[in-house]
Amino acid sequence: DTAVSQTPKYLVTQMGNDKSIKCEQNLGHDTMYWYKQDSKKFLKIMFSYNNKELIINETVPNRFSPKSPDKAHLNLHINSLELGDSAVYFCASSPRGAGTGANVLTFGAGSRLTVL
């Protein structure tokens, strides 16, 4: 059973379209994240949600809107896609609070978005 699952794994679309990537975790974690990996493999955090509340919002265009309907799901919606949005988007989750397990992130398999 996949711990953090993302759909779709691959997405090819035209500039200007709107698309969504879904993420679900079955680990019972309270915190979920979106990370972006660019063409040079550099990874950077975009957002984090703790029990449906936005905690981290890095400098990301407002065309990107995360939505967390419950603590097991964190979806990423992207409006008016641009060429520069082509990347691999990783969802991740972690437990909440202090302790040895609190800050270990479990990543999904990534969703490769290609904008033409």
Partner 1 sequence: AQTVTQSQPEMSVQEAETVTLSCTYDTSESNYYLFWYKQPPSRQMILVIRQEAYKQQNATENRFSVNFQKAAKSFSLKISDSQLGDTAMYFCAFMSGGSQGNLIFGKGTKLSVKP
Residues forming the site for partner 1 (CB under 8 A): 31, 33, 35, 40-45, 48, 50, 55-56, 88, 90, 92, 94, 103-107, 109-110, 112
Three-state SS annotation for 7-64? ECCEEEECCCCCEEEEEEECCCCCEEEEEEECCCCCEEEEEEEECCEEEEECCCCCCE
CB of 106 to partner 1, least distance (A): 8
**Least distance from C-beta 54 to partner 1, angstroms?**
11
The first and second tokens of residue 47, run together, are: 């957002």
φ and ψ at residue 6, rounded to 5 degrees: -125, 145
Q: Residue 46 or 78: which CB sits closer to partner 1?
A: 46
Q: Which is nearer to partner 1, 11 or 92 (CB)?
A: 92
For residues 23 and 92, which CB has a smaller minimum distance to partner 1 in the complex? Answer: 92
CB of 11 to partner 1, least distance (A): 14
Find the Cα–Cα–Cα–Cα dihedral 101, 107, 108, 112, rounded to 10°: 170
Query: What would the two tokens of residue 32 be?
Result: 């979920």
Q: How far is the CB of 72 from partner 1 (least distance, A)?
A: 16
